Structure 1
Protein backbone atom coordinates (compact mmCIF):
# COMPACT_ATOMS: atom_id res chain seq x y z
CA UNK A 1 0.00 0.00 0.00
CA UNK A 2 2.80 2.43 0.98
CA UNK A 3 6.52 2.25 0.29
CA UNK A 4 9.34 4.60 1.24
CA UNK A 5 12.39 3.66 -0.81
CA UNK A 6 15.60 5.20 0.57
CA UNK A 7 13.83 8.53 1.18
CA UNK A 8 15.76 11.55 2.41
CA UNK A 9 14.27 14.99 3.03
CA UNK A 10 16.34 18.09 3.73
CA UNK A 11 15.06 21.49 4.80
CA UNK A 12 17.38 24.09 3.38
CA UNK A 13 20.85 22.81 2.59
CA UNK A 14 21.75 20.90 5.71
CA UNK A 15 18.77 20.37 8.03
CA UNK A 16 17.93 16.67 7.88
CA UNK A 17 14.24 15.88 8.41
CA UNK A 18 14.41 12.29 7.11
CA UNK A 19 17.47 10.25 6.23
CA UNK A 20 17.44 7.08 4.10
CA UNK A 21 13.98 5.90 5.16
CA UNK A 22 12.99 2.43 3.95
CA UNK A 23 9.51 1.38 5.00
CA UNK A 24 6.75 -0.85 3.66
CA UNK A 25 3.18 -0.65 5.00
CA UNK A 26 0.85 -3.36 3.76
CA UNK A 27 -2.78 -2.97 2.77
CA UNK A 28 -4.95 -3.13 5.89
CA UNK A 29 -2.17 -2.58 8.44
CA UNK A 30 -2.44 -0.43 11.57
CA UNK A 31 0.86 1.35 12.21
CA UNK A 32 1.96 3.78 14.90
CA UNK A 33 4.65 6.34 14.06
CA UNK A 34 6.29 7.38 17.31
CA UNK A 35 9.13 9.67 18.30
CA UNK A 36 9.88 13.02 19.86
CA UNK A 37 8.99 16.33 18.18
CA UNK A 38 11.32 16.83 15.24
CA UNK A 39 11.88 13.11 14.74
CA UNK A 40 10.33 13.14 11.26
CA UNK A 41 6.74 11.95 11.78
CA UNK A 42 5.04 15.04 10.36
CA UNK A 43 7.46 15.16 7.43
CA UNK A 44 6.51 11.60 6.48
CA UNK A 45 2.83 12.54 6.55
CA UNK A 46 3.39 15.64 4.41
CA UNK A 47 5.33 13.58 1.89
CA UNK A 48 2.53 11.02 1.69
CA UNK A 49 0.04 13.81 1.00
CA UNK A 50 2.41 15.22 -1.61
CA UNK A 51 2.55 18.55 0.18
CA UNK A 52 6.30 18.44 -0.45
CA UNK A 53 8.77 16.34 -2.42
CA UNK A 54 11.61 14.17 -1.08
CA UNK A 55 15.15 15.37 -1.62
CA UNK A 56 16.15 11.84 -2.61
CA UNK A 57 14.50 8.46 -2.93
CA UNK A 58 10.98 7.50 -4.00
CA UNK A 59 7.57 7.09 -2.38
CA UNK A 60 4.88 4.78 -3.74
CA UNK A 61 1.23 4.79 -2.66
CA UNK A 62 -1.11 2.09 -3.96
CA UNK A 63 1.49 1.12 -6.54
CA UNK A 64 1.92 4.62 -7.93
CA UNK A 65 5.11 6.63 -7.67
CA UNK A 66 4.19 9.97 -6.13
CA UNK A 67 6.79 11.84 -8.17
CA UNK A 68 4.85 10.83 -11.30
CA UNK A 69 1.60 12.44 -10.13
CA UNK A 70 1.01 15.74 -11.90
CA UNK A 71 -0.06 18.86 -10.01
CA UNK A 72 -3.63 18.69 -11.31
CA UNK A 73 -4.01 15.09 -10.11
CA UNK A 74 -2.86 15.78 -6.55
CA UNK A 75 -6.45 16.41 -5.28
CA UNK A 76 -7.48 12.98 -6.58
CA UNK A 77 -4.50 11.40 -4.81
CA UNK A 78 -5.45 13.10 -1.55
CA UNK A 79 -9.05 11.91 -1.77
CA UNK A 80 -7.70 8.39 -1.25
CA UNK A 81 -6.12 9.46 2.04
CA UNK A 82 -8.32 10.54 4.94
CA UNK A 83 -6.66 12.86 7.47
CA UNK A 84 -7.45 13.44 11.14
CA UNK A 85 -5.67 16.18 13.09
CA UNK A 86 -5.15 17.12 16.74
CA UNK A 87 -7.11 20.37 16.38
CA UNK A 88 -10.12 18.79 14.58
CA UNK A 89 -10.36 21.52 11.88
CA UNK A 90 -14.17 21.51 11.90
CA UNK A 91 -16.19 24.27 10.26
CA UNK A 92 -17.74 26.18 13.20
CA UNK A 93 -20.81 27.42 11.32
CA UNK A 94 -21.85 23.95 10.15
CA UNK A 95 -23.59 21.20 12.09
CA UNK A 96 -22.11 17.76 12.64
CA UNK A 97 -23.98 16.38 9.61
CA UNK A 98 -23.05 19.39 7.49
CA UNK A 99 -19.36 19.09 8.38
CA UNK A 100 -19.34 15.47 7.26
CA UNK A 101 -21.46 16.18 4.18
CA UNK A 102 -19.12 18.99 3.14
CA UNK A 103 -16.29 16.50 2.67
CA UNK A 104 -18.44 14.74 0.06
CA UNK A 105 -19.74 17.92 -1.54
CA UNK A 106 -16.26 19.20 -2.41
CA UNK A 107 -15.58 15.96 -4.29
CA UNK A 108 -18.75 16.30 -6.36
CA UNK A 109 -20.84 13.61 -4.69
CA UNK A 110 -24.54 13.58 -5.54
CA UNK A 111 -27.07 14.77 -2.96
CA UNK A 112 -28.76 11.37 -2.82
CA UNK A 113 -25.44 9.72 -2.08
CA UNK A 114 -24.68 12.27 0.64
CA UNK A 115 -28.08 11.81 2.28
CA UNK A 116 -27.50 8.06 2.41
CA UNK A 117 -23.86 8.05 3.46
CA UNK A 118 -23.74 10.72 6.19
CA UNK A 119 -26.14 8.94 8.61
CA UNK A 120 -24.23 5.69 8.09
CA UNK A 121 -20.87 7.20 8.98
CA UNK A 122 -22.30 9.09 11.98
CA UNK A 123 -23.69 5.81 13.26
CA UNK A 124 -20.24 4.22 12.85
CA UNK A 125 -18.58 6.90 15.00
CA UNK A 126 -21.39 6.95 17.57
CA UNK A 127 -22.81 10.40 16.85
CA UNK A 128 -26.31 9.64 15.60
CA UNK A 129 -27.81 11.73 18.42
CA UNK A 130 -25.56 14.73 17.66
CA UNK A 131 -26.43 15.26 14.00
CA UNK A 132 -27.77 18.81 14.38
CA UNK A 133 -25.25 20.02 16.95
CA UNK A 134 -22.56 22.60 16.16
CA UNK A 135 -18.88 22.04 17.03
CA UNK A 136 -18.99 24.40 20.04
CA UNK A 137 -21.79 22.26 21.52
CA UNK A 138 -19.64 19.12 21.49
CA UNK A 139 -16.97 17.76 23.81
CA UNK A 140 -13.41 17.40 22.53
CA UNK A 141 -13.89 13.67 22.01
CA UNK A 142 -17.10 14.23 20.07
CA UNK A 143 -15.40 16.83 17.88
CA UNK A 144 -12.64 14.35 17.11
CA UNK A 145 -15.24 11.74 16.17
CA UNK A 146 -16.75 14.23 13.73
CA UNK A 147 -13.26 14.80 12.31
CA UNK A 148 -12.82 11.04 11.87
CA UNK A 149 -16.27 10.73 10.27
CA UNK A 150 -15.42 13.51 7.82
CA UNK A 151 -12.09 11.88 6.96
CA UNK A 152 -13.66 8.46 6.45
CA UNK A 153 -16.97 9.30 4.77
CA UNK A 154 -15.39 8.94 1.32
CA UNK A 155 -14.09 5.51 2.35
CA UNK A 156 -10.42 6.22 1.62
CA UNK A 157 -8.06 3.27 1.47
CA UNK A 158 -5.69 5.03 3.88
CA UNK A 159 -6.50 6.98 7.05
CA UNK A 160 -3.76 9.10 8.66
CA UNK A 161 -4.24 10.45 12.17
CA UNK A 162 -1.72 13.05 13.36
CA UNK A 163 -1.76 13.22 17.20
CA UNK A 164 -5.50 12.39 17.28
CA UNK A 165 -5.62 12.18 21.10
CA UNK A 166 -3.29 15.09 21.84
CA UNK A 167 -6.03 17.30 23.32
CA UNK A 168 -8.06 14.54 24.98
CA UNK A 169 -8.19 12.97 28.42
CA UNK A 170 -7.10 9.29 28.80
CA UNK A 171 -10.62 7.84 28.88
CA UNK A 172 -11.72 9.74 25.77
CA UNK A 173 -8.46 8.79 24.05
CA UNK A 174 -9.27 5.11 24.50
CA UNK A 175 -12.58 5.60 22.70
CA UNK A 176 -10.89 7.37 19.78
CA UNK A 177 -8.31 4.59 19.43
CA UNK A 178 -11.04 1.96 19.55
CA UNK A 179 -12.83 3.80 16.75
CA UNK A 180 -9.67 3.88 14.63
CA UNK A 181 -9.24 0.17 15.33
CA UNK A 182 -12.82 -0.45 14.15
CA UNK A 183 -12.13 1.44 10.93
CA UNK A 184 -8.97 -0.60 10.45
CA UNK A 185 -10.97 -3.81 10.89
CA UNK A 186 -13.16 -2.74 7.98
CA UNK A 187 -10.04 -2.96 5.81
CA UNK A 188 -8.63 0.57 5.87
CA UNK A 189 -4.90 1.08 6.31
CA UNK A 190 -4.46 3.27 9.42
CA UNK A 191 -1.34 5.27 10.31
CA UNK A 192 -1.27 7.09 13.64
CA UNK A 193 1.49 9.57 14.51
CA UNK A 194 1.48 10.05 18.26
CA UNK A 195 3.30 10.87 21.48
CA UNK A 196 0.68 8.96 23.50
CA UNK A 197 2.77 6.22 25.08
CA UNK A 198 -0.12 4.62 27.00
CA UNK A 199 -2.31 4.25 23.92
CA UNK A 200 0.51 2.73 21.89
CA UNK A 201 1.29 0.23 24.63
CA UNK A 202 -2.37 -0.73 25.09
CA UNK A 203 -3.10 -1.18 21.37
CA UNK A 204 -0.14 -3.49 20.70
CA UNK A 205 0.02 -2.72 17.00
CA UNK A 206 3.03 -2.30 14.74
CA UNK A 207 5.28 0.50 16.00
CA UNK A 208 7.74 2.38 13.81
CA UNK A 209 9.97 4.59 15.97
CA UNK A 210 11.79 7.60 14.54
CA UNK A 211 14.70 9.51 15.99
CA UNK A 212 16.57 12.28 14.20
CA UNK A 213 14.94 11.45 10.88
CA UNK A 214 15.89 7.77 10.98
CA UNK A 215 13.90 4.64 11.73
CA UNK A 216 15.41 3.24 14.91
CA UNK A 217 12.87 0.50 15.61
CA UNK A 218 10.13 -1.34 13.71
CA UNK A 219 8.20 -3.89 15.75
CA UNK A 220 5.00 -5.84 15.19
CA UNK A 221 2.81 -5.60 18.31
CA UNK A 222 5.38 -3.30 19.79
CA UNK A 223 5.34 -0.72 22.58
CA UNK A 224 6.43 2.89 22.70
CA UNK A 225 9.05 2.10 25.38
CA UNK A 226 11.36 4.49 27.19
CA UNK A 227 14.00 4.03 24.51
CA UNK A 228 12.15 6.29 22.06
Structure 2
Protein backbone atom coordinates (compact mmCIF):
# COMPACT_ATOMS: atom_id res chain seq x y z
CA UNK A 1 0.00 0.00 0.00
CA UNK A 2 1.26 3.48 -0.88
CA UNK A 3 2.58 5.58 1.95
CA UNK A 4 0.31 8.54 2.68
CA UNK A 5 1.36 12.05 3.58
CA UNK A 6 -0.72 14.05 6.10
CA UNK A 7 -4.26 14.66 4.83
CA UNK A 8 -3.80 18.43 4.62
CA UNK A 9 -0.74 18.26 2.33
CA UNK A 10 -1.29 18.54 -1.42
CA UNK A 11 2.42 18.54 -2.32
CA UNK A 12 5.34 16.94 -0.49
CA UNK A 13 9.02 16.66 -1.37
CA UNK A 14 10.84 14.10 0.77
CA UNK A 15 14.62 14.35 0.57
CA UNK A 16 14.51 14.94 -3.18
CA UNK A 17 17.77 15.01 -5.11
CA UNK A 18 17.94 15.42 -8.86
CA UNK A 19 21.27 15.01 -10.67
CA UNK A 20 21.58 15.74 -14.38
CA UNK A 21 24.24 14.66 -16.85
CA UNK A 22 27.88 15.22 -15.92
CA UNK A 23 26.98 15.28 -12.25
CA UNK A 24 25.12 18.61 -12.26
CA UNK A 25 23.05 18.69 -9.06
CA UNK A 26 19.77 20.58 -9.62
CA UNK A 27 18.21 19.65 -6.26
CA UNK A 28 20.01 18.42 -3.17
CA UNK A 29 17.92 16.68 -0.46
CA UNK A 30 14.99 19.07 -0.77
CA UNK A 31 12.10 18.58 1.66
CA UNK A 32 8.93 20.63 2.14
CA UNK A 33 5.15 20.27 2.39
CA UNK A 34 2.49 22.51 0.87
CA UNK A 35 -1.00 22.36 2.35
CA UNK A 36 -4.28 22.41 0.51
CA UNK A 37 -5.22 25.96 -0.48
CA UNK A 38 -1.78 27.49 0.15
CA UNK A 39 -0.15 30.10 -2.10
CA UNK A 40 3.62 29.53 -2.24
CA UNK A 41 6.42 31.32 -4.08
CA UNK A 42 9.55 29.39 -5.09
CA UNK A 43 12.35 31.95 -5.39
CA UNK A 44 16.07 32.00 -5.99
CA UNK A 45 18.63 32.72 -8.72
CA UNK A 46 18.62 31.13 -12.16
CA UNK A 47 19.70 27.50 -11.91
CA UNK A 48 18.75 27.10 -8.25
CA UNK A 49 16.19 24.35 -8.94
CA UNK A 50 12.83 26.15 -9.16
CA UNK A 51 11.88 24.86 -12.60
CA UNK A 52 13.17 21.41 -11.70
CA UNK A 53 10.61 21.32 -8.87
CA UNK A 54 7.85 22.20 -11.35
CA UNK A 55 8.99 19.52 -13.81
CA UNK A 56 9.12 16.90 -11.06
CA UNK A 57 5.53 17.71 -10.08
CA UNK A 58 4.47 17.26 -13.71
CA UNK A 59 6.43 14.01 -13.83
CA UNK A 60 8.51 15.31 -16.72
CA UNK A 61 11.51 14.33 -14.59
CA UNK A 62 12.12 11.65 -11.97
CA UNK A 63 14.06 12.23 -8.74
CA UNK A 64 17.51 10.69 -8.52
CA UNK A 65 16.75 10.14 -4.83
CA UNK A 66 13.78 10.82 -2.56
CA UNK A 67 10.06 11.01 -3.24
CA UNK A 68 7.60 13.55 -4.64
CA UNK A 69 3.98 13.15 -3.55
CA UNK A 70 0.78 14.82 -4.73
CA UNK A 71 -2.34 14.38 -2.61
CA UNK A 72 -0.56 11.65 -0.71
CA UNK A 73 0.42 9.56 -3.72
CA UNK A 74 4.02 8.86 -4.62
CA UNK A 75 4.59 9.96 -8.20
CA UNK A 76 7.11 7.14 -8.58
CA UNK A 77 4.18 4.71 -8.33
CA UNK A 78 2.24 6.27 -11.19
CA UNK A 79 2.75 4.26 -14.42
CA UNK A 80 3.51 6.03 -17.68
CA UNK A 81 0.01 5.36 -19.01
CA UNK A 82 -1.50 7.29 -16.07
CA UNK A 83 0.66 10.41 -16.39
CA UNK A 84 -1.93 12.22 -18.57
CA UNK A 85 -4.51 11.62 -15.84
CA UNK A 86 -2.14 13.15 -13.26
CA UNK A 87 -1.63 16.24 -15.43
CA UNK A 88 -5.36 16.76 -15.88
CA UNK A 89 -5.46 17.61 -12.18
CA UNK A 90 -2.67 20.18 -12.48
CA UNK A 91 -3.05 23.54 -14.19
CA UNK A 92 0.14 24.98 -15.72
CA UNK A 93 1.02 28.58 -16.59
CA UNK A 94 4.32 29.38 -18.33
CA UNK A 95 6.38 32.45 -19.11
CA UNK A 96 5.98 32.01 -22.89
CA UNK A 97 2.20 31.35 -22.75
CA UNK A 98 2.33 28.24 -25.01
CA UNK A 99 -0.82 29.20 -26.91
CA UNK A 100 -1.80 27.65 -30.25
CA UNK A 101 -1.18 30.52 -32.70
CA UNK A 102 -3.70 29.36 -35.31
CA UNK A 103 -6.58 28.99 -32.80
CA UNK A 104 -8.81 31.68 -31.35
CA UNK A 105 -8.95 32.50 -27.65
CA UNK A 106 -12.08 30.35 -27.34
CA UNK A 107 -10.46 27.44 -29.19
CA UNK A 108 -7.27 27.62 -27.12
CA UNK A 109 -9.23 27.27 -23.90
CA UNK A 110 -11.69 24.73 -25.30
CA UNK A 111 -8.78 22.54 -26.42
CA UNK A 112 -7.87 21.83 -22.79
CA UNK A 113 -11.37 20.41 -22.28
CA UNK A 114 -11.53 18.47 -25.55
CA UNK A 115 -8.40 16.48 -24.78
CA UNK A 116 -9.99 15.15 -21.58
CA UNK A 117 -13.21 14.20 -23.35
CA UNK A 118 -15.45 16.95 -22.00
CA UNK A 119 -18.87 17.01 -23.72
CA UNK A 120 -19.48 19.85 -26.17
CA UNK A 121 -22.32 21.19 -24.05
CA UNK A 122 -19.95 21.55 -21.07
CA UNK A 123 -17.29 23.18 -23.24
CA UNK A 124 -19.80 25.75 -24.49
CA UNK A 125 -20.71 26.52 -20.88
CA UNK A 126 -17.29 26.47 -19.23
CA UNK A 127 -15.20 28.41 -21.75
CA UNK A 128 -17.24 31.66 -21.68
CA UNK A 129 -17.44 31.41 -17.88
CA UNK A 130 -13.68 31.18 -17.42
CA UNK A 131 -13.02 33.93 -19.98
CA UNK A 132 -15.31 36.23 -18.01
CA UNK A 133 -13.31 35.38 -14.88
CA UNK A 134 -10.03 36.41 -16.52
CA UNK A 135 -11.50 39.53 -18.11
CA UNK A 136 -11.51 38.36 -21.74
CA UNK A 137 -15.23 37.89 -22.41
CA UNK A 138 -15.02 40.19 -25.44
CA UNK A 139 -11.94 38.47 -26.93
CA UNK A 140 -13.37 35.00 -27.68
CA UNK A 141 -12.76 35.23 -31.42
CA UNK A 142 -9.38 36.94 -31.36
CA UNK A 143 -6.15 35.13 -32.21
CA UNK A 144 -3.08 35.24 -29.94
CA UNK A 145 -1.19 37.66 -32.22
CA UNK A 146 -4.04 40.15 -31.79
CA UNK A 147 -3.62 40.23 -28.00
CA UNK A 148 -1.21 42.03 -25.68
CA UNK A 149 1.26 40.01 -23.63
CA UNK A 150 -0.91 40.37 -20.55
CA UNK A 151 -4.00 39.21 -22.45
CA UNK A 152 -2.12 36.19 -23.80
CA UNK A 153 -1.11 35.26 -20.26
CA UNK A 154 -4.74 35.58 -19.18
CA UNK A 155 -5.70 33.10 -21.91
CA UNK A 156 -2.98 30.79 -20.59
CA UNK A 157 -4.41 31.09 -17.08
CA UNK A 158 -7.95 30.48 -18.36
CA UNK A 159 -6.79 27.33 -20.13
CA UNK A 160 -4.97 26.14 -17.00
CA UNK A 161 -7.95 26.74 -14.72
CA UNK A 162 -10.94 25.92 -16.94
CA UNK A 163 -11.16 22.42 -15.47
CA UNK A 164 -10.74 23.78 -11.91
CA UNK A 165 -7.71 21.64 -11.01
CA UNK A 166 -6.80 21.36 -7.32
CA UNK A 167 -3.20 22.43 -8.06
CA UNK A 168 -1.96 25.34 -10.19
CA UNK A 169 1.73 25.62 -11.13
CA UNK A 170 3.09 28.85 -12.61
CA UNK A 171 6.67 29.00 -13.90
CA UNK A 172 7.76 32.67 -14.24
CA UNK A 173 4.23 33.81 -15.20
CA UNK A 174 5.20 37.50 -15.22
CA UNK A 175 8.66 37.09 -16.74
CA UNK A 176 7.77 38.74 -20.06
CA UNK A 177 5.40 41.39 -18.70
CA UNK A 178 5.72 44.99 -17.52
CA UNK A 179 5.14 45.76 -13.81
CA UNK A 180 1.55 46.98 -14.16
CA UNK A 181 0.52 43.99 -16.27
CA UNK A 182 2.34 41.67 -13.87
CA UNK A 183 0.30 43.05 -11.00
CA UNK A 184 -2.93 42.25 -12.83
CA UNK A 185 -1.77 38.70 -13.56
CA UNK A 186 -0.79 38.06 -9.94
CA UNK A 187 -4.10 39.43 -8.69
CA UNK A 188 -5.85 37.00 -11.02
CA UNK A 189 -3.79 34.07 -9.72
CA UNK A 190 -4.55 35.24 -6.18
CA UNK A 191 -8.27 35.24 -7.02
CA UNK A 192 -7.96 31.64 -8.26
CA UNK A 193 -6.18 30.69 -5.04
CA UNK A 194 -9.11 32.09 -3.06
CA UNK A 195 -11.37 29.48 -4.66
CA UNK A 196 -9.39 26.83 -2.78
CA UNK A 197 -6.85 25.93 -5.46
CA UNK A 198 -3.30 25.33 -4.21
CA UNK A 199 -0.90 27.64 -6.08
CA UNK A 200 2.87 27.33 -6.55
CA UNK A 201 4.63 30.16 -8.40
CA UNK A 202 8.30 29.93 -9.40
CA UNK A 203 9.53 33.47 -9.96
CA UNK A 204 12.32 36.04 -10.11
CA UNK A 205 9.81 38.87 -9.67
CA UNK A 206 11.04 40.26 -6.35
CA UNK A 207 8.68 43.24 -6.41
CA UNK A 208 5.63 41.01 -6.77
CA UNK A 209 6.77 38.64 -4.03
CA UNK A 210 7.30 41.62 -1.72
CA UNK A 211 3.83 42.95 -2.51
CA UNK A 212 2.00 39.65 -2.12
CA UNK A 213 3.54 38.58 1.20
CA UNK A 214 2.76 34.88 0.87
CA UNK A 215 4.80 31.88 1.92
CA UNK A 216 8.27 31.93 0.35
CA UNK A 217 10.50 28.90 -0.18
CA UNK A 218 13.96 30.06 -1.26
CA UNK A 219 16.33 27.75 -3.12
CA UNK A 220 20.07 28.24 -3.54
CA UNK A 221 22.37 25.78 -5.29
CA UNK A 222 19.62 23.19 -5.18
CA UNK A 223 18.90 23.43 -1.45
CA UNK A 224 16.11 25.01 0.58
CA UNK A 225 17.75 27.88 2.45
CA UNK A 226 14.59 29.61 3.69
CA UNK A 227 10.94 28.72 4.24
CA UNK A 228 9.09 31.78 5.52
CA UNK A 229 5.43 32.58 6.09
CA UNK A 230 4.33 35.96 4.72
CA UNK A 231 7.83 36.32 3.32
CA UNK A 232 9.64 38.69 1.00
CA UNK A 233 11.88 37.88 -1.93
CA UNK A 234 14.84 38.55 0.32
CA UNK A 235 14.66 38.36 4.13
CA UNK A 236 14.73 42.11 4.74
CA UNK A 237 13.42 43.68 7.97
CA UNK A 238 11.07 46.07 6.15
CA UNK A 239 9.44 46.60 2.75
CA UNK A 240 8.22 49.74 1.04
CA UNK A 241 5.67 47.84 -0.99
CA UNK A 242 2.02 47.63 0.04
CA UNK A 243 0.34 44.24 -0.10
CA UNK A 244 -1.75 43.39 -3.14
CA UNK A 245 -5.49 43.90 -2.62
CA UNK A 246 -7.48 40.73 -3.14
CA UNK A 247 -9.54 42.05 -6.06
CA UNK A 248 -7.99 45.38 -6.88
CA UNK A 249 -7.16 47.03 -10.13
CA UNK A 250 -4.14 46.55 -12.32
CA UNK A 251 -5.86 44.71 -15.17
CA UNK A 252 -3.49 43.29 -17.73
TM-score of the two chains, using structure 2 as the length reference: 0.89
> How many Å separate the matches in 2 of 1:80 and 1:62?
11
Give secondary structure in 1 for the equivalent of 2:138. helix
Q: 199, 212, 215: which is aligned to 2:224?
A: 215
Residue number in structure 2 paired with 1:83: 92
1:13-46 CA distance string (max 9 Å, x none): 5211100111000000000000111000011111
Residue number in structure 2 paired with 1:144: 153
**Does residue 92 of structure 1 match 2:94?**
no
> How many Å separate the matches in 2 of 1:12 and 1:173?
35
Map residues 1-228 of structure 1 onto 2, 5 A cutoff: 1-12=10-21, 14-225=23-234
- Identify unmatched segments of 5+ residues in structure 1: none
> How many Å separate the matches in 1 of 2:188 and 2:223?
30
> How many Å separate the matches in 2 of 1:70 and 1:29?
28
Give secondary structure in 2 for the equivalent of 1:186. coil
Give the aligned CA root-mean-square deviation in angstroms. 0.9
1:63-94 CA distance string (max 9 Å, x none): 11100000000000011111000000111111
Give the 4+ runs in structure 1 shifted more than 6 A: none
Give secondary structure in 1 for the equivalent of 2:177. coil
- Identify unmatched segments of 5+ residues in structure 2: 1-9, 237-252
1:37-62 CA distance string (max 9 Å, x none): 10000111110000111011111101
Quick one: higher RCO (CA 8 Å, sep 6+), 1 or 2? 1
1:136-172 CA distance string (max 9 Å, x none): 1100000000000000111111000000000100000
> What is the number of equivalent residue pairs in this alignment?
227
- Structure number with the higher helix fraction is 1
1:163-213 CA distance string (max 9 Å, x none): 000010000000000000000000000000000000000000000000000
